[in-house]
Amino acid sequence: MYLTHTISSDAEIINKLGIIRGLIQRLVKLELAGVESNELIEGHRIQDKRI
């Protein structure tokens, strides 16, 4: 039971880090393309409730 709970917690952390990594990659890509990042960050705060 303890092991299952520990693995579940680790998996949740890894999943959230993957979401954050993806958002960072997208922000960098769009910033390099000339899109203002402040607008993107505010949009993600509203849209992405997973993190």
Between CA 49 and CA 51 the distance in angstroms is 6
Structure tokens at 3: 């092991």
Between CA 11 and CA 38 the distance in angstroms is 30
Structure tokens at 39: 């607008």
Q: Give the three-state DSSP class for 10.
A: helix
pLDDT, average across residues 18-29: 90
Q: Note the pLDDT of residue 2.
A: 67
- Global pTM value: 0.61
Structure tokens at 42: 């505010």
